[in-house]
Amino acid sequence: MRFLLTAGPTREPIDPVRYLSNRSSGKMGYAIAQAALDAGHEVVLVSGPVALAAPEGARLEPVTTSDEMYDAIHRWVGWADVCVLCAAVADFRPVRIEAQKIKKGARETLTLELVPTRDILRSLRDLAPAPGRKRATRVVGFAAETHDLEAHARRKLTEKGCALIVANDVSRPDIGFESEDNALTLFFASGERCELARAKKSVLATELVKIFVEIAK
């Protein structure tokens, strides 16, 4: 089976030395890529900037900004049986990127005007089968939430038209971002819900790949 995965953060530049980003380490996405490879699947990994070695056997597509990630996903989505969007993509980017470094003493305050980034997950909502393929790529989204996890995840599931949303509580300091462990709640388009208790991300990834294969059959 063919897996298209995203992992890590994006960086939205403010000036030549500063950017907007988030705490995503990419560990969950890279663990899923490795688990898919271990199970004998093909993997294209679209990765934001991370301090991780690419899993051997994966085709790595390195990107930096949300626009670059959007373009990479749309280049590959027709190839994939399942598209797993695990990356923590920036929701906003600066309207203006300064050509030179903003100097601290140049102004008393600094106001950044932001606009929404393109919604990668929503852009995949109405995929048609690629030429020569019988069915469209199945899309899995991730939801990193700090509160009201189920409400936000189910809303995202409906609004984005995913087959599955994998949600986790990133308000906990012991799991999620930058941690080796995670705990996940899965919300399926069928209405089913499944809990994956706290475990190493590599262990969770193995279970997730089995589930992704089932929904993509």
- Which pLDDT tens digit goes with each residue over 49-61? 999 999 999 999 9
- Structural domain harbouring 179: 2-101+109-216
Cβ neighbours of 140 (radius 10 Å): 24
**Catalytic one among 21, 22, 179, 202?**
22
Classified as helix, coil or strand, 5 is strand
Q: What is the pLDDT of residues 150-196, one digit of tens each?
A: 999 999 999 999 999 999 988 887 777 778 999 999 999 999 999 99
Q: Catalytic residue at 182?
A: no
Q: Which two tokens stand for residue 36?
A: 């898919």
Task: Tell me the pTM.
Answer: 0.94
Please give the DSSP secondary-structure letter assigned to residue 99. S
Q: What is the pLDDT along the chain (217 residues), one digit of tens a residue?
A: 999 999 999 999 999 999 999 999 999 999 999 999 999 999 999 999 999 999 999 999 999 999 999 999 999 999 999 999 999 999 999 999 999 999 887 677 889 999 999 999 999 998 877 777 777 899 999 998 999 999 999 999 999 999 999 999 888 877 777 789 999 999 999 999 999 999 999 999 999 999 999 999 8
Q: Check which CATH number belongs to the domain holding 167 and give it.
A: 3.40.50.10300
Number of domains in the chain: 1
Residue given tokens 């089976």 in the structure block: 1
Write the DSSP symbol of residue 38: H
Q: Pick from 124, 85, 119, 117: which is nearest to 6 by CA?
A: 85
